[in-house]
Every structure is written in structure tokens, then in C-alpha cells.
């Protein structure tokens, strides 16, 4: 995509002769490959993309994705697709396409060391530099096509979020609920989940990155569900917390506090504000509550081609929000051994505030057990 390639080059001084994005084997794919080459379908293992300062792009593909690559190139006059049938042939493709003594920018952040050594071994006179920061900066602000996809990913997540209370039945396991959430997202048009769905019951709900297992839902358990959809490679990320069966006055107040913390963060969001202000707005609310110290992570992160797309908001994030960034806002309070509450929504940053992308109702749902 010419405009995206130009955005990356624009941020580099001096400009390298070329940028190279190299995919290894799943899951070691460079998501930035899909930033410069906009194709919704295909794994593209072993593929590479060479972007030039005029915005043109050369993509190598195996036969596995040839059709998908050619379809994508049809819609983009700046893309040339090269069939490189065997991994072994990629080295000679690089040698043919890149200037022998040139300066080449690489995205170290998503390049495997093995691929780097292979690339460097094939072009011993080239000079290599890390352009990861410029790539991340360009990816931070979403263009209209990206926003459209994130909006749809968020819509899918929101619809399924509304349906969760109806799925909460005595005896359902965390894994069963997680798979039902993922199934419903795909039924609504998602290509898959944007990360491994988190469903935690009871004390597990106090573990922010818990992996669902065989625990069965019983009355008196708290529930945290954190999930997201991929739509045309773009992610959403949403969390809702519930209570099954008899209420727990403490967790009810915890939920009210997390809701208030999230509202405080929302009020801080607008272009130009350092990320830490969004985090600290939530932290101040929680620090003023009986659960000071139980908010144990940053308040949010950017979403895009990856669910954690390169920008995070913690208590020391000086980098400001920019119009067009898509971010999560997800304060939480975790009481080890008892349960936790997290509420997470996705928003698009605007000059004066934000636009909400996820719409699932947030109030604490106490589902009869
Ligand atoms: N959705 C999981 C996380 O943001 O860490
Ligand atoms: Mn998140």
C-alpha cells in the first residue's frame, strides 16, 4: 500500500534504499508485512516484501498463497507479485532484487534472528538498519481501511459480549464458554479470535491472563471473559465481568469502582494527551478505593494487525495519543483467591475525545445461578 510505505519512509532519515519485511513460520510472521501488503487471506509463511522509497512493493510468495497475492495485487497497481517456489530460492530472490551494497531497513521487532542471518549472509556488502520504530509509528495511526476493519471486529465482539449472560449455565466449563464465544464470533464473520480467549471462573477471574481450563461454573462464582475477533486481519479486544448466583457485596463494589475508573480514563482521552494521563486517571480512582494496589497492569494498548499493536498506556507513557489511534481502555481490580473484575472497551481517538467502537453494556450482570 503506497501511502503506508511512504509514511514509513517519511519518518526515516537518511532513507534506506529499501525496506524488507520477512515472514518466518507461523506464529513468527511479521504483521507489518500485512501492513504494506493488504491481503485478507493466506498465511504467507516464508514470504517477504521489499518496499521502495517510491511506494512500490515487491512481494514473494509460494504457490500456497499465489492466488490470494495476485488478487490483492489486482487492487493495488504499486504491487508486483513474484512466485518463489522454494524457501531456498528466497536468498537468490533477495540478491536479485536488492542493491548489493545498499542500505536496507529491517523490522527487527518481528524478524527472526535466523532470517536475519540468512538475509545478511546473502548480501555481505549491504548495510542493515532497524526501522522498527518508524514502522510501529506508522501503524499507530489507522487509515480509513484499517478503521473500517477494526470497527467490524469490534462490532462482532460487542454482539457476542451481549450474548454471554445467556451462555452462563451451571456446570459449563471455562473452555466450553471460551469455545462458544469464539464460535459465535466466527459465525458473525470473524476469521478467528484475535488472541487466546480468557475465561476465568471464581478465583481464576483474578488472574488477568488466565488460560481457560476445566473448572465448572457454580453459583457464587465471579466470571471474567476477555476475547476479541479478527476481521480482515484486524483485531478487537473486549472484556466483561459477571457474577453467577448469589451476589457478593465486595465484588459488586469492585465492579462499580472499575466502571468509575474506566469512565475517568475515557474522560482523559483526546489527541495530544500523554498515554500516562489515561492510565493515571483510572489508577487514581482505584487508589482512592479500598483496593489500592490491586490494579496491576497498564490501562490499555493499541489494537490493529495485532491485538497488542505496539503502543501501551502505563504510568510512565509519555508518547501522546494521536487522532486515528485505536486503543483499549481496560482497568481491572484483582483480589487473589477471591475473584476479579476487568472492563475493557475499544475506542478510536479523535481530536477532542474518542469514538466508542465496542458497545456491549457494561453494568454488572448478576446472572441467577
Ligand atoms: N486482552 C488481553 C490483554 O489485553 O492483555
Ligand atoms: Mn486488552
Tens of pLDDT, residues 311-357: 999 999 999 999 999 999 999 999 999 999 999 999 999 999 999 99
Residues 295 and 283 in one domain: yes
- Shared domain check, 68 and 37: yes
Q: Please, which contacts does 160-164 make with residues 24 or more away whose CB atoms are closer than 8 Å?
A: 160/184, 160/185, 160/188, 160/227, 160/229, 161/225, 161/238, 161/240, 161/358, 161/360, 162/360, 162/361, 164/225, 164/240, 164/242
Residues 200 and 320 occupy one common structural domain: yes
Same domain? 77 vs 185: no
pLDDT of residue 183: 98
| pTM to 2 decimal places | 0.95
Co-location of 126 and 151 in the same domain:
no
Probe ligand 1: pick from 197, 227, 237, max atoms within 8 Å of CB?
237
Quote the domain boundaries for residue 111: 2-140
Residue nearest to atom 5 of ligand 1 (CA): 209
Residue 368 has what pLDDT?
79
* 345 pocket-lining for ligand 1 (C-beta < 6 Å): no
112 and 238 both lie in a single domain: no
- List, for the chain, all residue ranges whose pLDDT scores fall below the cut of 70: none
For residue 150, how far is its CA from the centre of ligand 1 (angstroms)?
Answer: 16
Q: Residue 136: its pLDDT value, please?
A: 96
Residue where a domain terminates, one of 140, 158, 184: 140
Question: Which of 123, 140, 157 corresponds to the end of one domain?
Answer: 140
237 lines ligand 1 (CB under 6 A): yes
Q: Based on the domain organization, do 113 and 213 belong to the same domain?
A: no
Q: What domain count does the chain have?
A: 2
The answer to whether residues 223 and 350 belong to one domain is: yes
Residues 130 and 196 grouped into a single domain? no
Tell me the CA–centroid distance for residue 347 and ligand 2, in Å.
12
The CATH number assigned to the domain holding 68 equals 3.40.350.10
In ligand 1, which atom is closest to the CA atom of 228? Answer: 1
Ligand 2 centroid vs 51 CA: distance in angstroms?
31
Residues 161 and 272 in one domain: yes
pLDDT of 72 reads 87
Q: Residue 269 maps to which CATH number?
A: 3.90.230.10
- Per-residue model confidence as pLDDT tens digits over 180-213: 999 999 999 999 999 999 999 999 999 999 999 9
Ligand that lies nearest to the alpha carbon of residue 297, given by its number in the listed order: 1
> Do 125 and 201 belong to one domain?
no
Q: How far is the CA of 5 from the centre of ligand 1 (A)?
A: 28
Closest CA to 146 of 29, 40, 53, 23: 40
Q: What's residue 260's pLDDT?
A: 98
Give the number of whichever ligand sits closest to the CA of residue 326: 2
Q: Could you tell me if 244 and 361 are in contact, meaning their C-beta atoms sit under 8 angstroms apart?
A: no
- Looking at the fold, whether 148 and 214 belong to one and the same domain comes out as yes
End position of a domain, from candidates 115, 140, 165: 140
Cα-based torsion angle of the residue sequence 159, 162, 163, 166 in order, rounded to the nearest 10 degrees = -170
Amino acid at each position: 500500500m503506497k501511502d503506508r510505505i511512504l509514511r514509513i519512509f517519511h519518518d526515516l532519515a537518511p532513507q534506506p534504499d529499501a525496506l524488507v519485511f520477512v515472514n518466518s513460520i507461523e506464529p513468527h510472521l511479521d504483521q507489518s508485512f500485512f501492513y504494506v501488503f493488504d491481503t485478507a487471506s493466506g498465511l504467507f509463511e516464508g514470504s517477504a516484501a521489499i518496499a521502495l522509497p517510491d511506494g512500490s512493493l515487491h512481494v514473494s510468495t509460494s504457490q500456497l498463497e499465489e492466488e490470494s497475492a495476485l488478487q490483492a495485487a489486482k487492487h493495488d497497481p504499486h504491487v508486483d507479485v513474484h512466485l518463489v517456489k522454494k524457501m531456498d530460492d528466497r536468498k537468490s530472490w533477495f540478491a536479485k532484487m536488492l542493491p548489493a551494497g545498499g542500505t536496507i531497513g529491517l523490522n527487527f521487532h518481528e524478524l527472526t534472528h535466523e532470517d536475519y542471518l540468512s538475509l545478511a549472509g546473502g548480501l555481505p556488502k549491504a548495510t542493515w538498519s532497524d526501522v522498527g520504530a518508524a514502522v510501529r509509528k506508522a501503524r499507530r495511526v489507522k487509515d480509513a481501511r484499517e478503521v473500517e476493519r477494526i470497527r467490524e471486529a469490534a462490532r462482532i465482539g460487542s454482539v457476542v459480549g451481549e450474548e454471554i449472560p445467556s451462555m452462563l449455565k451451571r456446570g459449563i466449563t471455562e473452555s466450553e464458554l471460551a469455545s462458544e464465544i469464539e464460535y459465535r464470533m466466527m459465525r458473525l464473520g470473524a476469521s478467528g479470535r484475535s488472541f487466546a480467549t480468557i475465561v476465568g471462573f471464581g478465583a481464576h477471574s483474578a488472574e488477568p491472563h488466565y488460560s481457560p481450563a476445566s473448572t465448572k461454573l457454580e453459583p457464587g462464582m465471579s466470571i471474567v471473559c476477555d476475547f476479541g475477533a479478527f476481521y480482515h486481519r484486524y483485531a478487537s479486544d473486549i472484556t466483561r465481568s459477571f457474577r453467577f448466583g448469589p451476589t457478593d457485596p465486595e465484588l459488586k463494589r469492585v465492579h462499580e469502582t472499575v466502571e468509575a475508573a474506566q469512565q475517568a480514563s475515557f474522560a482523559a482521552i483526546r489527541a495530544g494527551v500523554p498515554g500516562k494521563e489515561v492510565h493515571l486517571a483510572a489508577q487514581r480512582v482505584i487508589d482512592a478505593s479500598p483496593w489500592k494496589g490491586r490494579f496491576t497492569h497498564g490501562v490499555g494498548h493499541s489494537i490493529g494487525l495485532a491485538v497488542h499493536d505496539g503502543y501501551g498506556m502505563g504510568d510512565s507513557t509519555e508518547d501522546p495519543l494521536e487522532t486515528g489511534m485505536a486503543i483499549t481502555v481496560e482497568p481491572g481490580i484483582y483480589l487473589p483467591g477471591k475473584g476479579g473484575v476487568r472492563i475493557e472497551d475499544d475506542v478510536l481517538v479523535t481530536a477532542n475525545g474518542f469514538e466508542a467502537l465496542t458497545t456491549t453494556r457494561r453494568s454488572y450482570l448478576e446472572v441467577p445461578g
